[in-house]
Structure 1
């Protein structure tokens, strides 16, 4: 606890007798061979110097990349160039594919182009609209089920119909095996006088009349 020191002169003079008495006691003590040890007061030790690193100047991101990361910029440029090359290659492949289909359309119908390319009719139609061309129209009688049969084919079909009759095939099954229409099938039966049985209906369900309740 710090001692209070007054600046009033009168209060200072009032303490003179006590100081004089204390001085006499110290002199008497020293005469008797005593010693007075003067203790060292508190010493001030300054705090250690704190190391402060020098401030650094912040560099914007784009300036840092441009100044110190040249390979990174080369990588971005190379990637953009490769992307443009892929886009150009796809466009070139598409143009070549369209030109190939255009040449096929000059001599082929949709059915022939489907067999040749493996594409669907919808895909071929979309390419035709995109390229501004048309496929050849299908010729009359191109459907084998509607084509006119020759005499040899009619005779062969008649023999097959007789064998189908013997094994018990129905009329629909026989038409499916021959690949002919219903009209052509009936003409063959009439021309070669083949009595091909028709399918018969199964047994009718038993009918029990209701009896009135008693």
Structure 2
């Protein structure tokens, strides 16, 4: 590579010699040669960028306050929900009592549900169903002495084990009127409350 460049330089020597003669002749005639400076590179001034601006946090939007119309509508909705809940509970109770009435008397239903007789009667009227009649209603109006004596023995046995009056009536399947008649007839002292002490 060096020998090739050197030969090219030597090839340009005649042209440089000719240019030097022309330059000398120009200067002899009074000409002047002005050497111009080449372009200079100045780096651009440093750029000062402003610091990034912080976005201001948006204030939290408060929920719109309910006016009196909204409050009234809310109360109406809550009232409707409560009414629907009561209707559902009443419907469930009605279905339960209707199913119970298929096999139970009023006394048995009272013991199993804890509902008063009037409530059961009202549900029966509204639902269009009837409870089973008490067992003694299927018998002749004047019960036989043997039947009364047998029930009296059962009442005394239930008293000894500590059953309440309602539980004893339910086990035997008699009404309160018949139960009271047997207590009076056989002089049985059956406590009203179910706190009878069990005796050995």
Shared fold (TM-score, shorter chain, > 0.5): no
Q: Which has the higher contact order (CA 8 A, sep 6+)?
A: 2
TM-score (norm 1): 0.35
TM-score (norm 2): 0.38
